[in-house]
A and B are shown apart, each in its own frame.
Chain A
Amino acid sequence: MNGTERVLRMLPAGGVLSLIQSDLESNGELFSLLILRRLLERGDTVFLFLYEPFRVFENNATTVGLNIREHLGKNLYIFDAFGSIYRIPRREEGVHQLSGYLDDSVFIIKLREWAVKTLESREWRNLWIFTYTSTGVCKLFRRPYLVYRMIIAVRELLFNNAEYEGTVLTLSEPECPDISDIAYTVSDIVIETHVVNGRRVGIVTKGANEGEVLELFGGD
């Protein structure tokens, strides 16, 4: 079983997994995209909250062998926070942006409206919430810790019901230490990614498999 499969099996149904990239060189963000690839390829539906530039996301997805265009609008739906804030229009199907004036609190209100509308628009099955990367809130908002806590609350309000599989939050500790504390508190599983003796590993720091060390890339 490879790393992504092991991680997905650790997560209780409807649970929250936080992947915290502690060392940049561990490439924990790419590992999280491997999880995304796994979910999309097996046909699950993913709502992805994008706080980084779209092209950065697309390029890194390509690096791990994931062509997002094959899934966009089919089982991948992107909420483009970065593009909304900087008003960089995107025409792709399955990419949603917010229009009009945005600040910290307006963003939360509009995010919630969009999520409610989208959830009600049709039946969803095997639904996942995914962020790439949560850390982006530190670059986009004036009071990131506050915005992030509100986002977590919106998730709890809306995605706390049937047909909802789980949440994968991707964080990068060096960029945005402010949000790690809530990630620890509300997550069922936390995995930190580090470089230890020249190896890229994930260490389970919270959850039933606490203390387990995973090979992030390759392996059996």
Chain B
Amino acid sequence: MLSWEIPALDEALGGLKKHSFVLIHEADPRARGKEILFHIMREKLRAGNLVGYFNISYPIHALMKAFEVSGIDARKYLREGNLAIIDTFGSFYDIISDLEGVWYLRGSLSADVLPAKYVEVVEAHKRAWAERGMFEGRELYGFAMDMSDYIDMLGGELETLRYLEISAEIRANAKAYREYPKGTNFWLWGRKGSPRILTSVYRRATYVLRVRSELSGSKVVRYLEVLKAPGMGTEIERFTYHFENGVPILEIV
């Protein structure tokens, strides 16, 4: 079992199953679910692990600012090779940076060709990790954010649904995933799209956490609910949380 980097979750869920898919559904931006994902990523990098970040949402310069605000020294990890960024946003909208460790998908892009292009860059970077002997003693994690932005990028829900459902099957057969170590993956889903498409991602995930916030008087109350997990009971596990220096602090309700 791996760690969630959040003690309350490790305790409640008995750790994080290796190679699982974790879906974090951010019901509203004030819940700051993206920062929970960044927190996990920051701790995984700090412990020396390998991270592939799939940048679906932001121009690279905005992403670097977001990393900085969340205390992730992305330039250092890119340089050292622990962090690889697959810049889907930049590839689609032609915003290219010369940062080391940032990969672009080449040629025309659409829902149909995206799975194969991802496989290509993932394989290329995993080969680089293998050649440098970096898999030894390290875990591999993937973070993708924000998956719901595919709806705009790929031109609609039907295309996105097709992409999501086909790509996992293609991945499973690819050399990048058969011959090299596999990762444990975190996906963030924002508030775009209909329930139909969220349902499909929910079904694929091993764990589903939903974060949301509400106002009680002039106090923001944030909730994290474990909606799906191996070995779950009848009752939905529910936490409130707040941030201290960018670290989410959970308390059981």
Is A156 a contact of B220 with CB atoms below 8 Å? Answer: no
CB of A145 closer than 8 Å to a CB of B: yes
Chain A residue with Cβ nearest B59: A153
Separation of A192 and B34 alpha carbons in the complex (Å)? 18
User: In the complex, what residues of B have CB within 8 A of residue A157's CB?
Assistant: 61
Q: How far is the CA of A16 from the CA of B70 in the complex (A)?
A: 13
Which residues of chain A (150-169) have a CB below 8 Å from chain B? 150, 152-153, 156-157
Q: How far is A165 from B32 in the complex, measured between Cα atoms in Å?
A: 26
Give the chain A neighbours of B58 by CB distance below 8 A. Answer: 149, 152-153, 182, 185
> By the criterion CB–CB under 8 Å, are A149 and B62 in contact?
yes
Q: Are A205 and B62 in contact (CB under 8 A)?
A: no
Q: Are A187 and B62 in contact (CB under 8 A)?
A: no
In angstroms, Cα B148 to Cα A145, docked, is 13
Contact A143 B61 (CB under 8 A): no
Q: With an 8 A cutoff between CB atoms, is B197 at the interface?
A: no
Known: A145-B152, A201-B218. A152 touches B30 (CB 8 A): no
B residues near A44, Cβ cutoff 8 Å: none
Are A156 and B219 closer than 8 Å at their CB atoms?
Answer: no
Is the CB–CB distance between B32 and A184 below 8 Å? yes
Q: Does B46 interact with chain A (Cβ within 8 Å)?
A: no
Chain B neighbourhood of A201, CB < 8 A: 218
A181 CB contacts on chain B under 8 angstroms: 26, 29, 34, 146, 190-191
Contact for B218 among A180, A183, A188, A213, CB less than 8 A: A213
Contact of A16 among B65, B217, B243 (CB under 8 A): B65
Q: Bound state CA distance, A105 and B60, in angstroms?
A: 17
Contact with A along B41-82 (1 / 0, CB 8 A): 000000000000000011111101110010000000000000
Residues of B with C-beta under 8 A to A96:
none
For chain A, residues 179 to 202, give those with C-beta under 8 angstroms from any C-beta of chain B.
Answer: 180-188, 190, 192, 194, 196-197, 201
Whether a CB of chain B sits under 8 angstroms from the CB of A146 is: yes
Separation in Å of the B69 CB from the closest CB of chain A? Answer: 6
Contacts of A16 in B (CB 8 A): 65, 69
**Interchain Cβ contacts within 8 Å, total number:** 80
Q: Which chain B residues border A150 with CB–CB below 8 Å?
A: 59, 93, 95
Please, how many angstroms separate the alpha-carbon atoms of A149 and B218 in the complex?
30
Asked if A211 is at the interface (CB within 8 A of a chain B CB), the reply is yes
Point out the residues of chain B lying under 8 angstroms from A78, CB to CB: none
Q: B182 within 8 Å of A by Cβ?
A: no
* Any B CB within 8 A of the CB of A25: no
Which residues of chain B in 194-253 are interfacial with respect to chain A, using CB atoms and an 8 Å cutoff? 215, 217-220, 242-243
Q: Which residues of B contact A190 (CB under 8 A)?
A: 30
Determine whether the beta carbon of B190 is less than 8 Å from that of A186: no
List CB contacts (< 8 Å) of A106-153 with chain B. 143, 145-146, 149-150, 152-153
Q: How far is the CA of A187 from the CA of B62 in the complex (A)?
A: 10
Would A156 and B29 be within 8 Å (CB), given that A181-B146, A186-B69, A205-B220 are in contact?
no
Please report the C-alpha to C-alpha distance between residue A216 and residue B173 in the assembled complex, in whole angstroms.
58
Q: Are B62 and A156 in contact, CB atoms less than 8 angstroms apart? A: yes
**How far is A192 from B32 in the complex, measured between Cα atoms in Å?**
14
Q: Are B32 and A186 in contact (CB under 8 A)?
A: no
CA distance A15 to B107 in the complex (A): 36
For the complex, what is the distance from the CA of A149 to the CA of B153, rounded to whole Å?
A: 13
Residue pair A185, B66 in contact (C-beta under 8 Å) = yes
Checking A182, A185, A196, A206 against B217 with a beta-carbon cut-off of 8 angstroms, the contacting residue is: A196
Other-chain residue from A146, A196, A211 in contact with B152 (beta carbon distance below 8 A): A146
Q: What is the CA–CA distance of A211 and B222 in the complex, to the nearest angstrom?
A: 12
| A48 touches B (CB below 8 Å) | no
B95 A185 Cβ-Cβ under 8 A: no
State which of B29, B61, B146 has its C-beta within 8 Å of the C-beta of A180.
B29
Instruction: Identify the closest chain A residue to B58 (Cβ).
Output: A149
> B243 contacts which chain A residues (CB < 8 A)?
206, 210
| B145 → A minimal CB distance (Å) | 9
- Chosen A-B contacts, 8 in total, with CB atoms closer than 8 Å, are A143-B152, A149-B57, A181-B190, A194-B215, A197-B217, A203-B218, A203-B219, A210-B243
- 3 closest Cβ pairs, A-B complex: A153-B59, A156-B61, A181-B29
